[in-house]
Amino acid sequence: MVSIASSSFVFLLLGLLQATIVVSAGFDYGDALDKSFMFFEAQRSGKLPMNQRVKWRGNSGLRDGFLQGVDLVGGYYDAGDHVKFGLPMAYSVTMMSWGAIEFRREIVGLNQMGHTLAAIKWGTDYFIKAHTQPNVLWGQVGDGDSDHYCWERAEDMTTPRTAYRLDPSNPGSDLAGETAAALAAASIAFKPYNSSYSNLLLVHAKQLFSFANTFRGYYDDSIACAKQFYTSSGYSDELLWAAAWLFRATNDEYYLKYVADNAASMGGTGWAVKEFSWDNKYAGVQILLSKVLMDGGGGAYTSVLKQYQAKADFFACACLQKNGGYNVATTPGGLVYVREWNNMQYAASAAFLVAVYSDYLSQSHAVLKCPDAQLQPQDLLNFANSQALSLLSN
């Protein structure tokens, strides 16, 4: 089964929009990007707009949440199923927003910014609805067991549409943190286009971060039926990730101090990872914070940001197989191979991160010093491109 987080080839494509390689080896990445947004349209739940391009999809889930007195109409279905799982949905929105921020010029050049913002907003409008009080976030609609037992069209759904919520007695720092990150990143993406919507997103992002940070817990302890499908391995990464995005969105030192003060205790500078996914955000945090450092914005936190960047380097060097033996596993053809189930998501997200890092390095005229080699930004971009070519030809 293909989920919105795992099939999000769109992340990779967003990372590859540098004009020089939009058409590479006969592949038209601009066209592939357009089709990736069509995939997100097909995953839409709720009342569909007139300009919906995927015409075989009709309105569905129009009473989601009503039994519990809350309007949860909208958002994205996860996969070939009709559960609205909060964690992968929020992660997908964070990543699309990151792409929209980092590659704005390229996306506009391809006439795709309208579709990009629409794809983000389909998620963020839903998160705003689901965030009914500062410390309440509805985190799921439907459950995987009853949903998977009955295969039918979303438009004909007869399965229970039970909604599940987080609140101070049922916390979920990972899910609330990721949703805060998504809203903060989306607020940056929307800023040049709609400042009032951008401000609204930021209000929700700040409240959700505070909720996530104050009431600590694993979301799948509170929403137990999520455990079998999207088990969370921890929430420290999402707290750092949300704070890093909030810092970028607000420039408020409070958030920079948070990632600095909690760098060691939350694993941000201690944990060198080789995977970036809906569950594990560390490499993303490390690369985002490297940008703050490279832009000279570290101030009193410069030394801890250098530790973050050392781990960002580790990730990129591991992807490029230059990390003194501690490399990311690949297939014989060179595709990143993290695990058997849904592997493409890891290749796509690694390629996205490395492409973004390549841009950050090149903007500050830096190189990547790995244990086995010194790499240029172009080498990182070549890696991202190699993953796209593997994915497209598989």
Ligand X SMILES: *[C@@H]1O[C@H](CO)[C@@H](O)[C@H](O)[C@H]1NC(C)=O
- Positions touching ligand X (CB under 6 A) are 194, 196-197
Cα 94 from chain centre: 4
Smallest gap, in angstroms, from Cβ of residue 51 to ligand X?
14
* Minimum distance from residue 196 beta carbon to ligand X (Å): 5
Closest CB to ligand X among residues 158, 196: 196
**Least distance between ligand X and beta carbon 120 (Å):** 12
Q: Select 199 or 394, whichever has its Cβ closest to ligand X.
A: 199
d(CA 326, CA 30): 34
- Residue 129 makes CB contacts below 8 A (sequence gap 6+) with 70, 71, 72, 73, 74
Q: Which two tokens stand for residue 223?
A: 């929403």
Q: Residue 189 or 338: which CB sits closer to ligand X? A: 189
Cβ 74 to ligand X, closest distance in Å? Answer: 13
Grouping H, G, I as helix, E, B as strand and the rest as coil, residue 354 is: helix
- DSSP secondary structure, 27-54, as one string: EEHHHHHHHHHHHHHHTB-BSPPTT-S-
Of 194 and 331, nearer to ligand X (C-beta) is 194
* Nearest-angstrom CA–CA distance, 269 and 233: 18
Cβ(60)–Cβ(114) below 8 Å? no
Least separation in angstroms between residue 125's CB and ligand X is 7
Complex with ligand X: residue 128 or 389, whichever CB lies closer: 128
389 burial (CB, 10 Å; 0-12 / 13-18 / 19+) is: middle
Min dist CB 117 to ligand X, Å, is 10
Contact 33, 17 (CB under 8 A): yes
- Of 18 and 187, the one with the shorter C-beta distance to ligand X is 187
